[in-house]
Amino acid sequence: MTYCVAMHLDAGLVFLSDSRTNAGVDHVGTFRKMTVFENPGDRMMVLMTAGNLSISQSVRQLITEENGAGGKSIWTAESMYEAAQIIGEAVRTVHKRDAHTLEKFGIDFNVNIIFGGQIKGERCRLFQIYAPGNFIEAHSETSYFQIGEAKYGKPIIDRVVNPSTSLNEAAKCALISMDSTLRSNISVGLPLDLLIYETDSLAVTRFVTIDEKNKYFQMIRNTWGQQLKAVFEGIADPVWDAAPDSDSDVNTLSAANSRSQPIRVLPPIGAETPVAAAAPQTLAQQPGGNRQH
C-alpha cells in the first residue's frame, strides 16, 4: 500500500508520497511513487500512484514511451486536461491487456493516480485518475486529493488547508498528515518524496527526499505528538449529573434531570439476577430472641 497527497493552492501545488510497497509481511519493498515530467520553461507535471505496483509501472511506461489518440503525448499536450486524458487512455490500455488475466488469479485491477502541474499558457491544475481511466479535477471547494491509506492523514488537512494556505504551511500540513499515517499503518513507510511547485515557475525548484535522519521531519514527529498531548490535557474533563438548568458550567455533559437512557435488552425469563437473600438474623434480632428462659 502507500499514501500520497497533493494540494492545489493559489500559490502553486504541493506533492508528497511515501515509498512502501508490500505484498504480505514477508515481501516489503521500497519503490518511489512520484515521477516528474519536466521540460523547463514549457511544462512541469507530477504523477503519483497507489495500488497494484505492476499496473502503476505499466501505465507510467506507456505514457513515457507512447503517444495517445491523434499522436498526442503528455509532452505535446496543449493542456493539463488533455494530458490527464492521455493518462486515462493508458490506464484503459493496461486494463484491456491485463485485467482478465489478473482476475483469473484473484487480483483486482487496482490503480489510483494523482496527476498535476502546469503547462505554459494555462493555470496550475490537479487531477485524480481512477482505475476505469476517468478523472476529476481539484477546485476551490476540494483543494486536495489523497490516494492509498488516506483516512489517517485526512483530519488535519480538512482543518488546516484551503486555497489561500501558503506553500510552506501546506507542506508542513502534508508532512504532519504523513506522520499520522506512518504511526497508524505499517503499509506506509519512509523515505518520502516532497515537491513544492510555485505557480508559473514551469520547473522543479523545491524537492527533497526525506528519510528517518531528516531533521525537519524528526522535529515534526516529536513536536506534533507533544503538542497534541498538551492540547488534549488542556481540554477540561466532562461534568456528569450537573444541577438542573445550570448554565454556569460549560463543561456539562449530562444534567441531573437528564432523561437520557440507553437502549436496553431485558434478560430472558428465568435469567434474571435473583434478589439477594436477607441477611441471617441474630438470636437477639429474632422474635422473642431477648426472652429469658
Q: What domains are defined for the chain?
A: 3-230 (3.60.20.10)
> In sequence order, which residues have a C-beta less than 8 Å from that of residue 26 and are 6 or more positions away?
none
CA gap 277, 254 in Å, rounded? 35
CB-count burial class (<10 Å; 0-12, 13-18, 19+) for 283: exposed
Average pLDDT over residues 66-82: 86
Could you give the CA distance from residue 119 to residue 62 in angstroms, rounded to a whole number?
20
pLDDT for 290: 53
User: 118 with 198: CB under 8 angstroms?
Assistant: no
Q: Give the SS3 label for residue 48.
A: strand
Evaluate if residue 148 carries a pLDDT over 80: yes
pLDDT band at 187 (very low <50, low <70, confident <90, very high): confident
- pLDDT attached to residue 147: 98
Alpha helices in 143-210 (DSSP H): 154-160, 167-184
The whole-number average pLDDT for the span 277-293 is 54
**Residue 270: C-alpha distances to residues 27, 28, 266, 276, 278 (Å):** 55, 56, 11, 15, 20
Is the per-residue pLDDT at 192 higher than 90?
Answer: yes
Residue with the three cell numbers 494540494: 7
C-alpha cell at 127: 487531477
Which range, of 36-40, 108-112, 250-254, averages the lowest pLDDT?
Answer: 250-254
Cell 441471617 appears where? 280
Q: Which phi and psi angles does 198 have, rounded to 5°?
A: -90, 135
Q: DSSP 3-state assignment of 274?
A: coil
CA distance 241 to 239: 7
For the chain, what percent of residues have pLDDT higher than 90?
Answer: 75
**Residue 279 backbone dihedrals phi, psi, to 5 degrees:** -65, 140
Among the residue ranges 29-33, 63-67, 74-78, 205-209, the one predicted with the least confidence is 63-67
The grid cell for 212 is 528517518
Q: What share of the chain is helix, strand, coil (3-state, %, to 5)?
A: 30, 25, 45
